[in-house]
Amino acid sequence: MSTRRVAIVPHTHWDREWYEPYQSFRLRLVRMLDRLIPLLEDDPSYAKFLLDGQMAVVDDYLEVRPEAAGRLRALAAAGRVSMGPWYVLMDEFLISGETIVRDLQLGILRGASFGGVMEVGYLPDMFGHIAQMPQILRQAGFEHAVVWRGVPSTVDKSAFWWEAPDGSKVRAEYLMTGYGNGASIPDDAKALVRRVADHEKEVGEFLLDGLLFMNGTDHQEPQPWLGRVVAEANALQDDSALEITSLAEYLATAPTEGLPTWRGELRSGARANVLMGVASNRVDVKQAAARAERALERRAEPLCALFLPADKWPATLFGIAWKEVVRNAAHDSVCACSVDDVVDAVNVRYAEARVIADGLAEGALSALTRSLADAGPFAVNSAARSRGGLVEVVVQGEDVPARTQALPEEPGAFGIPRGLGPLTLDATTVRTILGMMPAGSQIDTHTWIQDVRVEEDETGIDVTIAFGNEERFDVPIASVKQDLYTRLGARPDSLVRIKIDQPPVQRVLMRTAEVPGYGWRPARPAEIAHPVEVHEPAESTGTAGAGRRGPTITNGLVEVVVDVVDGTFSLGGVPGYGRLVDGGDHGDSYNYSPPATDRIVDTPDSVAVTVLERGPLRAKVAIEARFTWPERVSGSTRARIGEVPVDVTTELEVQADDPVVRVTTRFVNPASDHRLRVHLPLPAPADHSDAECAFAVVRRALVAEGRPDEFGLPTFPSRRFVSAGGLTLAHEGLLEYELVDVDDDGAHAMAVTLLRSTGMLSRLGMSYRPLPAGPLTPVDGLQLRGKQIEARYALCVDCPDPYALVDDVFLPLDVVYASGGGTRPPQGSELRVEGAEVSAVQRQASLLEVRVFNPTDAETTVSIGDRTGWLVDLRGRTLAPVDGSCPLGPFEIATFRTAGA
Ligand SMILES: [Zn+2]
């Protein structure tokens, strides 16, 4: 028998936050690195250490020990410490493709100051892997991945070729039993030899050649005896040649012959848990992630890149926002399989990123507004495709313009009703109000202070403020305020009479003609080909025996009929949409698991239907359904017990000229230990689903591979949309779907999880996953009990372009109010991208960077108008010149850099 090479890679797996908050784990990180650094410096036999493939651990440490940077740099330069390539070890399914790319780029950038990152796509603990990961890695120059979870049973070797849909391929080293197979090496050479031999027996049939022994596990400290005990073990025997090495060195000579090939995503539970239930716990976190990523990627970055001067690109603020989003991408963070302190922090980070993004977007829109030659309202399109859409516009005058729909009257400035007589206030109140007044003359997007007059007589002070829609910068707000303070100071007992002149305005809905991609045009009401109407039957009270047919919303493209008995609705004649199915969930943050005795509630006790808007531009109907849900799962009997009432409001919206039904469902969650799903019938039976994942749409069967330790539940994540059987669902953070009602013809409905409510980080003895996946810690916040849940999604039958659908629904056109006097023409576009989906538009110094991908299996030509530039890889290295357009292969990702505004 030949000698087996045993590569020991010392490491630690550092979840930044998980069952303890970030700062608790950081205290441990500081202690761990305080020991590791001198150990490596003093003991050359402790040859290598892998810092978990993520630069965040380095930054988190150096924030506390900045003086250690030089020592870490020296160890990295000597090849003793491997850093990066990631910034954090993200979850790959619950975040956008762009966040994955930014995570990698941030890691590579931080690693550069330590002499570079490990050139290995180390993915040790992610709960499965996206299909496009091999392409992302190749575009960053990597040829290797290291994976554990998600590998299907057909892969029966310790390495395989992993192919992305575009054909990009990396060699994937497969950690058959995880990243801790060599954790806690004993200080005893004989025991170590036995341990290696035992592990070889366990995984021997998988081994192509050497054995990779990952010496570390979650938050493990280095074992100082490692070098000595390895030397002693080598002296004891000849079966194995043990060496302490790095992943990169091991993989450089690892075998490449006889490897099986796998193409696509890795989501199998054949040998390790994929913990698919993380997609649906803490729906608030997933919604916050969707909103923050959209605000950054799809609105703030394109608007700032295209409408601000290149030297005004707010790189630092984008850096701050992206770092929050990337930190949240860590697998225990966005997955919310963590204690409440962690989840609270995650929500705050997403909120901060979104607020920064929204503020930057507003700044870019203001710049565009000021640059327009004409005055009036304009629609702005922050998406790549040219599109019309419904916008709310405030127009001046007493009359509702033609081809618009009046909305409830706009409250006046500061919420003061129009036409209100003078307000008489005392000096103290006025001083308080003055303190809260904005410093400038702009009140909201379309209201400006036009004039302020102050007059005084023996009876008091009169202040007259005129509001209007004209942009005014010359009103001396500050000096008027000063003047008022002075007068109030001199006469503290005087009364102040405030009169507000507000011109009449109308708030209306209109549908604009097509606005060019990344462009603008005047917001004027276009002709409507398919106005929307609501028809109400004479009798529409929801009592059994009466007619079920409630209001019908129709625009000639789609017809929705509300069922007043069960609160569902039909779509194109197919009934049963919107059925809310509430079942027990005795699982945990990682996995759904039905209780031993389940009780399913899917019919309401009563239903009331109200028509909120009747067209012709927009119609809305509210379905208020009262249910009685079980209150919780009993810990002893494992049955659903108790009863709680709940009012669920589902609002349906149909717009003119649009075949889409927009749905918002709201309720306050009154119960624990349950899963609420909405069931959506499929127009035709389906044997697969097509779901959006990073840079691709992936096709999945009706089943998932599992094993007794983790039931192969075919609930899958979709990032923003999923299609099956002719139905497309677009959603905001409702990541989990399952095709259900399966018979010989296939699946007949899609179930989408609106809420999964469990109270345990991990649980023991679950029917679908008997062994724990983490600490058995009660986590109250996972119940989301007492929390307002608002789920937003849209439905479209035979949707021609789900990427367009999701933008239309969740990235509406913006409206700005220009005063004129600039140079920009009334209609135009700053960037044309055709033939591919756009993932990013941003700036790299003076250059505009555009990342696109081809989500189809056919080669296409992507065009960037008349711009010229260069194709670059994900490290920004130039690949080839581009003049206007270039071919893009099936499922290929490409990044352009182009000069000019
Ligand atoms: Zn982990």
User: Residue 900: what pLDDT?
Assistant: 67
How far is residue 611 from each of residues 511, 622, 756, measured CA to CA in Å? 21, 6, 30
Would you say residue 449 has pLDDT above 50? yes
Q: How far is the CA of 163 from the centre of ligand 1 (A)?
A: 24
Q: What is the pLDDT of residue 314?
A: 98
DSSP H or E stretch at residue 522: strand 519-522
Q: What separation in Å is there between the alpha carbon of 333 and the centre of ligand 1?
A: 10
C-alpha span between 243 and 223 (Å, rounded): 15
Give the span between the Cα atoms of 351 and 496, in whole angstroms.
40
Q: 74: which residues sit within 8 A by CB, 6+ positions away?
A: none
Nearby residues of 798 by Cβ (< 8 Å), 6 or more positions away: 683, 726
Query: What span, in angstroms and rounded, lies between the C-alpha atoms of 863 and 339?
Result: 47
- What average pLDDT does the segment 523-532 reach? 97
Q: How many angstroms does the Cα of residue 174 sit away from the middle of ligand 1? A: 17
Determine the distance separating the centroid of ligand 1 and the alpha carbon of 688, expressed in angstroms: 31
Helix, strand and coil in the chain, % to nearest 5: 25, 35, 40
CA of 354 to the centre of ligand 1 (A): 26
- Ligand 1 centroid–CA 56 distance in Å is 14
3-state SS, residue 747: strand
Q: What is the pLDDT of residue 445?
A: 75
Query: 516 alpha carbon to ligand 1 midpoint, in Å?
Result: 44
Q: How far apart are CA 692 and CA 802, in angstroms?
A: 9
Closest listed residue to residue 754, CA positions, set 660, 679, 809, 644: 679
pLDDT of residue 413 exceeding 90, the answer is no
Burial of 203 (0-12, 13-18, 19+ CB in 10 A): middle
Say how many Å lie between the CA of residue 229 and the centre of ligand 1.
Answer: 28
List strand residue ranges (DSSP E) for 669-759, in order.
674-686, 689-693, 696-700, 716-717, 721-724, 727-731, 736-743, 746-757
13 CA → ligand 1 middle, Å:
7
What digits encode the pLDDT tens for the residues 672-699?
999 999 999 999 999 999 999 999 999 9
Mean per-residue pLDDT, 789-813: 98
Q: 575 CA to middle of ligand 1, Å?
A: 44
> Ligand 1 centre from 635 Cα, in Å?
29
Cα distance between residue 687 and residue 450, in whole Å? 63
Closest CA to 295 of 380, 360, 386: 360
What is the reported pTM? Answer: 0.95
Handedness of CA 837, 839, 841, 844 (dihedral sign): negative
Q: Which of 723, 725, 720, 651 is nearest to 687 (CA)?
A: 725
CA 125–ligand 1 middle distance (angstroms): 5
pLDDT at 539 over 80: no
pLDDT of residue 1: 58
Kindly write down the DSSP assignment for every residue of 612-673, as one continuous string.
EEE-SSEEEEEEEEEEEE--EE-TTT-BEE--EEEEEEEEEEEETT---EEEEEEEE---SS
Computed over every residue of the chain, the mean pLDDT equals: 95
User: Under a CB-based contact definition with an 8 Å cutoff, are residues 82 and 121 in contact?
Assistant: no
Q: How far is the CA of 326 from the centre of ligand 1 (A)?
A: 15
Q: Mean pLDDT, to the nearest integer, of 286-306?
A: 98
Comparing 10-19, 148-157, 531-540, the range with the smallest average pLDDT is: 531-540
Does residue 584 have a pLDDT over 70? Answer: yes
Is it the case that residue 542 has pLDDT exceeding 60?
Answer: no
The average pLDDT across 65-76 equals 98
C-alpha span between 91 and 96 (Å, rounded):
10
Position 789 pLDDT exceeds 70? yes
Determine the distance separating the centroid of ligand 1 and the alpha carbon of 751, expressed in angstroms. 29
Task: Tell me the CA–centroid distance for residue 55 and ligand 1, in Å.
Answer: 15
Query: Is 836 in contact with 860 (CB distance < 8 Å)?
Result: yes
Q: Taking the alpha carbons of 165, 171, 176, 177 in that order, is the dihedral positive or negative?
A: negative
Q: For the residues of 170-215, what is the DSSP string, one character each?
A: EEEEE-TT-TTTT-S--S-HHHHHHHHHHHHHHHGGG-SS-EEEEE
CA-to-CA separations, 574 to 127, 270, 571, in angstroms, rounded: 37, 38, 5
Residues of the chain above pLDDT 70, percent: 98
pLDDT at 448 over 60: yes
Site of tokens 């930190």? 327
Q: How much distance in Å is there from the Cα of 787 to the middle of ligand 1?
A: 28
Alpha-carbon separation of residue 27 from 24, 38, 67, 86, 664 (angstroms):
5, 18, 17, 22, 43
Between CA 81 and CA 73 the distance in angstroms is 9
Ligand 1 center from residue 225 Cα (angstroms):
25
Ligand 1 center to 150 CA (angstroms)? 14
Q: How many A from CA of 774 to the centre of ligand 1?
A: 10
pLDDT at 408: 87
The per-residue pLDDT for 541 is 52
- Phi and psi at 476, nearest 5°, equal -80, 70
Q: Reply yes or no on whether the pLDDT at 716 is more than 80.
A: yes
Work out the number of other CB atoms within 10 angstroms of the CB of residue 12: 25
The Å distance, Cα 216 to ligand 1 centre, comes to 12
Q: Is 513:521 a contact under the CB 8 Å cutoff?
A: yes
Neighbouring C-beta atoms of residue 700, cutoff 10 Å: 21
Radius of gyration of the chain (CA): 30
Measured in Å, residue 91 CA sits from the centre of ligand 1 at: 10
3-state secondary structure of 448: strand
* Centroid of ligand 1 to alpha carbon of 893 (angstroms): 28
Helix (H) / strand (E) element for 849: namely strand 847-853
Is residue 501 very low, low, confident or very high in pLDDT (cuts 50, 70, 90)?
confident
Distance, in Å, from the CA atom of 796 to the CA atom of 658, rounded to the nearest integer, reads: 10
138 CA from centroid of ligand 1 (Å): 24
State yes or no: pLDDT of 579 exceeds 50: yes
| Close Cβ partners of 27 (under 8 Å, ≥ 6 residues apart) | none
Distance from Cα 287 to the centre of ligand 1, integer Å = 22
**Residues 734, 739, 744, CA angle at the centre, nearest 5°?**
175
Q: Which residues does residue 681 pair with via DSSP β-bridges, in sequence order?
A: 749
Phi-psi region of 138 (alpha: psi -120 to 50; beta: other; left: phi over 0): alpha
Work out the percent of the chain whose per-residue pLDDT is above 90.
86
Predicted pLDDT at 443: 81
Q: Is the pLDDT of residue 607 over 90?
A: yes
What pairs with residue 648 in β-bridges?
A: 625
Interval between CA 218 and ligand 1 midpoint (Å):
7
- Distance (angstroms) between ligand 1 centre and the Cα of 628 equals 39
Residue 545: the pLDDT is: 47
What confidence score (pLDDT) does residue 538 get? 75
Tokens of 491: 């006469």
User: Which are the contacts of 484, defined by CB distance < 8 A and separation ≥ 6?
Assistant: 430, 434, 454, 461, 463
Q: pLDDT-based confidence at 576, cuts 50/70/90?
A: very high
Q: Which two tokens stand for residue 829?
A: 């576009």
